[in-house]
Amino acid sequence: MDQQAVYATDEYGRPFIIVREQQKKTRTHGVEAIKSHILAARTVANIVKTSLGPRGLDKILISPDGDITVTNDGATILGKMEVEHQIAKLLVQLSKSQDDEIGDGTTGVVVLAGALLEQSEALLDRGIHPTRIADGFERACVLAVKHLDSISDTVEFSKTNTLNLFKTAKTALGSKMYNQSYVQKNVTNVWKDSVSKEHDRFAQIAIDAVLSVADLQRKDVLFDLIKVDGKVGGSLADTALIKGVLVDKDMSHPGMPSTVRDARIAILTCPFEPPRPKTKHKLDITSVEEFKKLREYEKEKFTDMIKRVKDTGANLVICQWGFDDEANHLLMQNDLPAVRWVGGPEIELIAIATNGRIVPRFEDLSPEKLGKAGVVREVTFGTTKDKMLVIEECANTRAVTVFVRGSNKMIIDEAKRALHDAICVVRNLVVDNRVVYGGGAADISCSTAVAKAADEIPSIEQYAMRAFASALDSVPLALAENSGLSPIETLAEVRSRQVAEGNPLLGIDCMGTGDNDMKRQFVYDPLISKRQQYLLATQLARAVLKIDDVIVAGQDSE
């Protein structure tokens, strides 16, 4: 049955995929259904393929509200797409799974999954059963993962020697930040130096952030202690790592001191207001005396709350809820600085960083529940004098905040995504310090190994294994194409050199340096990231090949 996939957008600019069948049927069965699913998956993979690598292109994503996102991050592109096809949704979940588990390689895993399904379509046309194809893919994946282990290198690092971490972080940043400024980078040496410094700065920030919260003995990284925040204004060069917690709030009253030293912090999730019944209530005031009584009651409660806080020795209050002007005035009169409307995640991070306890009732306050910090201060920046609160020298010194600056929200968001990838890559190396080499070098080497092993397999699964090897070539082919090179010629040349020299370090020279050795170019990929890409893409291909029918509830079947 002839089919075609149409990539369209709705009235809000959100993309979706239509799989049209020229021959109308209520349901498609067997191989035809599988081909329909493969078509949808290929369409999604082709959307993100052009964003792969350091020279990949960006996509503009427009939300229903008109907000614009410019990115080449695979997980972000797919996450913001409104896809209707069931298999397309599986690819979206695939990239999210890679992002949640590894944090990097979200575009590569979708490209590989799309290539595997594209190869399987040719095998279906030759009459090979989908189950045999799936089994062959599984067998080839085991071989590829085993080969990855054999070509991996162990990188040594410590808190004082971070050179290898630095190289790997720069590789992760390359695909996000480098492509935005490559053309300008070659205009003048001045621009080249500034971009290089910016790259180095972000890589170093990612390393410092991870090592601040990492336990190298247990090979564990507490991601909860790393917060990434941003504010429009300044340039990317103003991005800084703060040893402590940054909160986008200021003191609740302008008369309160802007700096508190040797802070003892009461962290409250109860509001500064008189208690009232939790159920619906109604209070009728019929005279001036009753109003005065109510006012005195409220003032007495406010005074009691402030006294309870002061009695514990606290000299700063951070509250999840707001409080009215009267409570605010009394807090200032009693020399008790306060911060209100601090969000739940932020208040949890403050509690962890200061070794304090979150207190839900004033009656539960005690000196041992207070958080401790060396200094809490307001910082102002820009001509608008925007204020933020910085909590430094915390009792738990491992908590850090990355404060990103940029000329607009779009740049800040992309910088955050780039930092997230770099931080995740450094985290992965702390967990497992083995790397393979990027630029498609590992993929070409695995492809050659799988194709060689397929020649020794007597069963029909050898065809599926060769298809798997061809699918692995999709990553270096996409890298070459996105770099403006001739894809097939470049891949053939690198593969022949790998085989002739027995050198699995040779990959696609995306940046045009004239050197295909990825180790000399410092293009590193964590082994667990590449392994996870192979495993997840193979699992998805197996799942799609085993779906031979789609039954929609409420529709008549044939």
Structure tokens at 380: 């102002």
Domain presence at residue 78: yes
Query: In which residue are the tokens 């949890």 written?
Result: 348
- Please identify every residue annotated as catalytic: 73, 106-107, 421
What's the confidence (pLDDT) of residue 23? Answer: 40
- Quote the CA–CA distance of 202 and 166 in Å, as a whole number: 10
CATH number of the domain residue 39 falls in: 1.10.560.10
Nearest-angstrom CA–CA distance, 1 and 483: 36
Q: What is the pLDDT of residue 9?
A: 67
Strand partners, 437: 524
CATH number of the domain enclosing 342: 3.50.7.10
Neighbours of 220 (CB within 10 A): 13
Domain shared by 148 and 166, yes or no = no
Nearest to 518 by CA among 440, 455, 425: 440
Distance between CA atoms of residues 144 and 454, nearest Å: 12
Q: Which of 406, 432, 458 is the last residue of a domain?
A: 432
Q: Are residues 354 and 251 in the same domain?
A: yes
pTM: 0.79
Range of the domain at 524: 3-153+435-545
Query: Domain check: are 112 and 138 in the same one?
Result: yes
Pairing outcome for strands 358-359 and 338-339: unpaired
Instruction: Assess whether 188 and 317 both reside in one domain.
Output: no
d(CA 142, CA 429): 22
Please say whether the beta carbons of 243 and 400 come within 8 A.
yes
Q: Are residues 91 and 62 in the same domain?
A: yes
Residues 19 and 119 in one domain: yes
| 3 state DSSP class of 237 | helix
Ordered DSSP codes for 337-354: -EE----HHHHHHHHHHH
Q: 124 and 167 share a domain?
A: no
Provide the pLDDT for residue 90: 87
- 333 assigned to some structural domain: yes
- Residue owning tokens 């040797």: 262
Strand partners, 70: 60
Q: And the tokens for 368?
A: 């041992």
Same domain, yes or no, for 161 and 280?
no
> 457 and 528: one domain?
yes
484 in a domain, yes or no? yes
**408 is a domain residue:** no
The per-residue pLDDT for 353 is 87
Give DSSP secondary structure letters for 457-483.
Answer: --STHHHHHHHHHHHHTHHHHHHHHHT
**Same-domain check for residues 260 and 386:** yes
Ranges under pLDDT 70 in the chain:
1-29, 175-197, 276-280, 382-384, 553-558
Domain contains 407: no
Task: Give the ranges where 334-396 is alpha helix by DSSP (H).
Answer: 344-354
* pLDDT for the residue 175: 65
Domain contains 551 = no
Count of the separate structural domains present in the chain: 3
Considering the domain architecture, whether residues 391 and 260 belong to the same structural domain is answered as: yes
pLDDT digits (tens, 9 = 90+) for 77-131: 888 887 777 888 888 888 888 888 888 888 889 999 999 999 998 898 888 889 9
Within-domain flag for 237: no
Looking at the structure, tell me whether residues 382 and 274 fall in a common domain: yes
Whether residue 298 is contained in a domain is answered as yes
Amino acid at 520: R
